[in-house]
Structures are given as C-alpha cells and as structure tokens.
Structure 1
Amino acid sequence: MEKIKALHVASFNGNIGDNANHNGFRKRLIETLGREIDFTNIEMREFYKSWNLRDFNSDDFIDLCNNHDLVVIGGGNFFELKWDYSHTGTTINIKEETLNLIKTPILFHGVGCDIAKGASQNSIEKFRLFMERITGDKNILVSVRNDGSYETIQKLYGNLFDNKFYRVPDGAFFMDSKKYDFPEIKNDYKSIGINVVADMKEIRFNSEVKGFISYENFINGFAEELNELLKKHENYQILLFPHIYSDLSAIYDLLEKIEDKYRRTRVVVSPCLTGKGSEEYIFGLYKECDFIMGMRFHSNVCAVAQNIPTIGLCSYKKILDLYREIDLNDRVIEVNKYGFKSLLREEIENTIINLEKIRNDYKRVNSNIFKESIEFYDAVKNWYITN
C-alpha cells in the first residue's frame, strides 16, 4: 500500500510543546489510517508578516497542497483573533478563493481559539465567515483542542457552529518520550520540575485589576516558597525547564531570588531545545521528576499525559480551562492573584505526600482522554476515505 503524502503546516521550531503535539498526533493518525505517512513540514512562522517568506494565497502554496494527498494545519493556537490584516482574523491568512482552488482534503487539527489578547469586531466577523466556509465544506474537517477553545467559539457565536466541528485532546496527550542518560539528574536527590514564563506579562500579571499581582510579586513570592521547600525537603533538587527562549528570562529572574546556597548546589536548568526529537529528550526528562509545576499549556499536558503529578501554575485562562476540561480542577493554582503563596505551599506538601494517588488519578484521566479521542480519529478515517 502506497504511503500517504501529507503536507503539515504548523510550528516546528518554536515552543517545544508544539513538537510534543505533533509527536502524539502523528502517531495516532498513522495508527488510525493504517498507512505509512510521509510528512512534508512547513513552518507556520514562514507565513507570518514578521517573517514574510510564504503566502497562503500564492500559486506556489496552492500547487504544494494539490501535490499532496492530505493537508494538515495545526495543532497550535492559530485561531487567535487579533489580526485585523488577515482575511480570517487569524494567523491563517487564507482567502476563500484559495480554498476553492485546493482540491486536497484539509484537516484543521486541534487548533486553539483565543481572544485573551483582544479581538476586534472586524476579526470576529471575518472568523465567523471563515468558520462558515470551512465547516460547510465536505473536503475540510475542523477540530479545536481541549483548552476552552470550543467554549470560546460558543461565547462568540452562540450555537451557530454546534456539531459542525470537533473538540479533541491535544496531540501531546498521546506523545512518546525517550529515556536517556540524563546529566541533569543527580542520584543524591529526587527532582521537582518547574516551568516559568515571562511573556505576555501585561496579560498574565495585570496588577491594575483588583486581586491580581505583578510579575515581580509573583517571582518574589514563588522564590520564597521554593527556598522554603528546599530548606524543608533536603532530598529534593529543582529542575527548571525552558520551553522557548523567552522562558530563560523568567528562569533568570527566579534564580536571582533563590538563595545562593541552593542555586549553586540543588538547582539545574535543562537545555532549551527546539525541533524534531527535542520533545523526546525534554519530556523524557520530565519523567525523572516526582512532580511538575508548570505555567505553559504543554508543560501541564505533557506531564499529565505521562502520569506525572502536576501543580498547574495558572497565569493565563487556558490553563484553568485545560484542567477543567480533563476534570482535574483541584490540581491548579492561580499564581497571578494575591494569596497564591499559602495555597501553593499547602499543595506542594499535599502532592509530596500523595504522589502515588495522584499518579493513579492521572492514569484514569488519560484512559478517559484516549476513549474520548476515538470518535474524532474514527471520523478522520471515514472523512479521509470518502474524500
């Protein structure tokens, strides 16, 4: 049986979580279709105005799509409605005329829909027209990821698109990681993994809103709790995980506040890796940790997916939405609000005491996530066969 030639438009050299997403999605897609798939990767950033290397509406892109058996767009946060210049209000700046010229089946896989950074009425209307076009085309199958995106679309358009697209688990829930001889691991200590971020400070830490704190207050408070943790639990080291280059700034800020006797002996920073295979190393290193405290979406997904206990550090709505959607509301703390320190301190102690119970809880959650995903992947198979 011939291989399927698939064109995959997504982020491959940005946030390492995207690589985990593609890792798990491709595994499930190959299993579902029962065929080998030869993927051609196209970096989504090449279509961004800031890079300006490709154009969705060019003859070159249309021909590229039509020379493949399947086009996949996503996953990624590409239904972010903040781009007024775009024909769709999103980073997928594609015209209806272009879609009419693409004869290859198009799968929008697990795309995130986000209005937290703002969305103009112009973008909202453009996206409505775009959704009407792609959900009404038998040659196109649309899905959004389980991070509150479905509810965001309902909030914007009511029941207009009910039952016209799928809500799917992020592909990273099905990823595979690998075990290496990790130099970051010290046999003298157990490890706690942490991912902190410094991007979108004005959104994550808007201290002008009542009850919310600044980024600086968060860093100071978080460092105080980590110093206390290391003092109380002498058998632990901290392993800091950057998922993208900007996380290194947050790591630096945090390290500045960690007591010198700890940061020189019991704090390790993992490599900042990108590209294919990087997720196998970094999320393999996650598995060496007793638990993970993460701010990024995929820091939480990739830990939960591997039955690693988590404390979600929420400074952005999608983290709360994720834990709500997978029914783990008690595993997340809003660290951008006053009073987070005492809640975090209590949850750290609770987690250390109940590691095995939490692992078993996550096994049940992952079993349910897999079962829920079967409907979508069966739909993809039937859709692809009939196209």
Structure 2
Amino acid sequence: MNVWHVYARYYNFGDYALGVGVRNLFLKYYNSEILFKLKDVHSLVFDENTVDQLNSSADMLLVGGGGLIHGFAGDKWMLKIPDRLIPKIRVPLIIYGVGYNQFRGEGDIHPRIVENIRRLQEHCLSFSVRNDGSREELLKLGVDLPEVPDPGFFVDGDYARPPIEGDFVIIQLANDMKHARGFDDESLLSHLSDICRYLLGKGYKIVLCPHVRTDDILGRQLIANMGNPEGLTSWEWFDIIRDECTLKGLSYYKHAKMVIGMRGHAQICPAGMLTPVITLGNHRKHLDLIKKQNLPDHYVEVGDPQLSDKVIMMFNDILANYQSIKDSYGNSLAHLLETSSLFIRNLAEISGKNNLP
C-alpha cells in the first residue's frame, strides 16, 4: 500500500519526531504493509499535476500530525489544497491529529481557511485534531472535528542510551515568535543560568536540545553567558535534524532524568516515553494539554518573574515522587494508546484496508 505522508518537514525536530509517531500508529493499527512517501507540507502545493500524480501513484493521502492549522499567510493554512481541487482527489484522504496552532495575540484563522477546512472535512475519510484544545478552538469557529491523541505520544522505541555518563536533564528552548511566547532574552537567560547552576551543583549533566535553528542560537548564548561550564552541552542540531538521526534524538528524551521544555513536542514526546516534564508555558496548547489529559501539573509560564525558583521547586517535587509520577504518565499513555488504536482500526475497517495479522 503506497501512502503519501504529508507533514511538516521544515527543519523542526519535533515535527520529524511526530511523523515517526504517525507512521508507528498506522503501521500497527491500519495496515502493516504501508510504504510511505514523505512529503513536506511547507513545499507541497496541490495543483492539477500534483493531484494527478497523487491519484495515479498512491493508495492514500495521509496528512499529519503537527500544528498545521495556522494562518501564517493570511487566508491560507499550511495544507495548500484549493477548494476547487478537493473533489478531484480520488484516493482516501485522512487528516490525522493536526493542531490549531494560532499563537497568543494572532487572533482567529481567516474565514477562507475555515471554509477550506469544512470542504476538506466533507471529502475526507477522516479529519481529526490533536488533544490540546484544538477541537474547542475550532468549535468556536463552527467547525466540529473529532479529537485524537497527539501522535507525538507514540514515538517510544528500544533506543540506545546517548553517550552521557550519569543522570542528565534536558533543557529545550524555543527562540522564535518571541512576541507571542512572552519572554525576553535577558530575563530568560538569567533564570536559566540559575537553574543550570542548581542542577550542575546537584551533580546532573545538562543537555540543551534545540528543535529549530533559532533555538540553537539561544542555547549557545546560554552556554557562553555561563562561561562554558563542564557538564552543560548541546546536541548538534545540524546532525539531529536529519531523518536518519530522528531516533537518535528521541533517545535523549527517553533516557533523560527529566525534561524542562518550551516546545509542545518537548512536552509530549518525553511524556510518551514516561520521562517527567516541567513545561515552560508559552502557548495556549501547553496548559490545555495538561488539563485535558490530567497530566501532572508541573507547569510555569516562561515569563514568570519567579521562573527559576518555581522550576527548582518542581524539579525537587518530581524527584521526591518520581515513580508515582512515571506511573501517572503510564496510566495516561495506556488510555491514549487505546483511544488511538480504536480510532485507526475503525478507519481501516471503513476503508477495507485492514490486512493486519
């Protein structure tokens, strides 16, 4: 079975990772004999030729996950299928676990995007959104889509431990859209320096895990500001961003003692591998996810004037209750996996494509 898998592949590690989660789920619960052809939603523009190529070479168009519902170009969103071409897609179309990703202060998506989503919903075998409040945001605009767990929860594997001696903590920064995320460099770097000094003083190694190029710039600035202390390092973004290194990157999240993260998939992927997370909130979706899934509430706004003190307090709370917190993650994950498997098996049954053993 040949499947075009369309998702965000524009040099963001979190997006690469959730692509792994989508394929894990569909291989296990939809059809065990899928051959995926990977397509970047940023560069793929559907015109007549693209639709003809899709219809002649693929058995299904699978879109997702990721925060694709974002009005980054006025009246267009990241999936660029014009209304007039939607009826010409003859293969089953599944849009799976995508997110409503408007940042604070951006307002709602354009009415033309809403209309395009409605038309796609009518044509799709299934159109679902991820479990981070996206459904509720779209309901406000009159669009009712089913909700599924973010596929980033399902990226676990038998990953070898990265070459780091002793316990280590990941710090994952976000350094784009600063006007919407609610922080300034000087204040954030000061708090992070305090956090790093505390962790290093307790004997932990620290690994910075930039997901995009701009994250790496901020992380390098943190290291320089602290005088390049022993035990504080960063993974090599130019290495980790390659497809063949995605699982290598996930191994850091799997084997970390804890994650202190700003991006959504630094919150989701480690939780799916039972690694406790402290979320530095900077987007609506971060807190909505915690509330909806009843995850442990280790959350602080990134612009909080007591950021470092609160993170250190949460760090010690997690250590004091480490196994019970991992058990809580495990209980949540079991429910999320059951929900996902039932949803995808139902899609397979509807489409008649389920040839699982």
- What TM-score, normalized to structure 2? 0.91
Q: Aligned letter for 2:41?
A: M
For structure 1, the 5+ residue unaligned runs are 48-54, 206-212
Task: Give the secondary-structure state (helix, strand or coil) at the position aligned to 2:140.
Answer: helix
Q: Which moved more, 1:101-110 or 1:29-38?
A: 29-38
Q: Aligned letter for 1:176?
A: D
> Is 1:349 matched up with 2:334?
no
Task: Give the secondary-structure state (helix, strand or coil) at the position aligned to 1:78.
Answer: strand
Alignment partner, residue 61 of structure 1: 50
**One of 163, 169, 172 as aligned partner of 2:152:** 172
Contact 1:143 / 1:167 at 8 angstroms: preserved in 2?
yes
Question: CA–CA distance in 2 between the matches of 1:124 and 1:169?
Answer: 26
Greater radius of gyration (CA): 1
1:214-251 per-residue CA deviation (whole Å, 9 max, x = no partner) reads: 332122122112213322x1x21111111121111120
| Cα distance change, pair 105–361 in 1 and its aligned pair in 2 (3 A) | same
**One of 257, 273, 277 as aligned partner of 2:225:** 257
> Is 1:45 matched up with 2:42?
yes
**One of 69, 88, 97 as aligned partner of 1:110:** 97
1:188-237 per-residue CA deviation (whole Å, 9 max, x = no partner) reads: x32111111211111112xxxxxxx5332122122112213322x1x211
**One of 178, 184, 194 as aligned partner of 1:201:** 178
Q: Aligned letter for 2:78?
A: T
1:5-44 per-residue CA deviation (whole Å, 9 max, x = no partner) reads: 1111112352111222121211211222243001111122
> Is 1:224 matched up with 2:194?
yes
| Cα distance change, pair 27–203 in 1 and its aligned pair in 2 (3 A) | same
1:92-141 per-residue CA deviation (whole Å, 9 max, x = no partner) reads: 232221111111111111111122265577x531122123212223x431
Superposed displacement of residue 356, structure 1 = 1.7
Superposed displacement of residue 74, structure 1 = 1.6
Superposed displacement of residue 386, structure 1 = 8.4
Contact 1:82 / 1:119 at 8 angstroms: preserved in 2?
no
Q: Aligned letter for 2:153?
A: F
Question: CA–CA distance in 1 between the matches of 2:104 and 2:320?
Answer: 38
> Is 1:147 matched up with 2:120?
no
Question: CA–CA distance in 2 between the matches of 1:176 and 1:136?
Answer: 34
Superposed displacement of residue 142, structure 1 = 0.3
**One of 75, 91, 106 as aligned partner of 2:78:** 91
Alignment partner, residue 378 of structure 1: 345
Q: Report sequence identity in percent.
A: 24
Task: Give the secondary-structure state (helix, strand or coil) at the position aligned to 1:277.
Answer: helix
| Cα distance change, pair 119–197 in 1 and its aligned pair in 2 (3 A) | closer
| Cα distance change, pair 178–245 in 1 and its aligned pair in 2 (3 A) | farther
Q: Aligned letter for 2:188?
A: F
- What TM-score, normalized to structure 1? 0.84
Cα RMSD over matched residues?
Answer: 2.2
Contact 2:296 / 2:328 at 8 angstroms: preserved in 1?
no
**One of 198, 209, 215 as aligned partner of 1:247:** 215
Question: CA–CA distance in 1 between the matches of 2:204 and 2:112?
Answer: 51
Q: Aligned letter for 1:134?
A: L
1:319-376 per-residue CA deviation (whole Å, 9 max, x = no partner) reads: 1122222212512211212222322121111122222221111111111111222332
**Residues 270-289 of structure 1: matches in 2 within 5 Å?**
270-272=235-237, 273-289=240-256
For structure 2, the 5+ residue unaligned runs are none
Alignment partner, residue 114 of structure 2: 128
Task: Give the secondary-structure state (helix, strand or coil) at the position aligned to 2:224.
Answer: helix
Superposed displacement of residue 181, structure 1 = 6.0
1:165-184 per-residue CA deviation (whole Å, 9 max, x = no partner) reads: 3211111211134433633x
